[in-house]
Amino acid sequence: MVQTHDGAALLGAQAKIPQSPDEAELDRVPNPHPDLNYLARFTQPEFTSLCPVTGQPDFAHLVIDYVPDLWLVESKALKLYLTSFRNHGAFHEDCTIRIAKDLVAALSPRWLRIGGYWYPRGGMPIDVFWQTAEPPKGLWIPDQGVAPYRGRG
């Protein structure tokens, strides 16, 4: 399980890339607007992990939307956490859902969804989507903006 720290322990400090998600840390900081429902989005267009069978690299475009409650994820810690998957062998579904579950465990957001748009492996793209529940009523949720995979056609 990923470690969580209150405060920005990694922000402004030199930090090594964790060798695996198990070694990563997710810093969280207080939400300055806990009275509001608003959407925060992180987009990682160059996410990489490894195929657990072949060891070959897999690539994805991740979009993480969440409605914070008391905590925000610190962006540098999130970048390092996501980068820690580059040497991690797991299937697309496992990577996508693990990231969502780790963020939920660290932040206890009011709502979270993730879209994992994976580039083809064996000629077939695999997209993975998950959310914690129905979004809060009245929340503006923009489209994730990732076109379906069309190849060269």
Q: Which residues are known catalytic residues?
A: 51, 58
* Closest of 11, 26, 41, 14 to residue 141, by C-alpha: 41
Distance of CA 136 to the CA centre of its chain: 20
Number of Cα atoms under 13 Å in the Cβ half of residue 91: 5
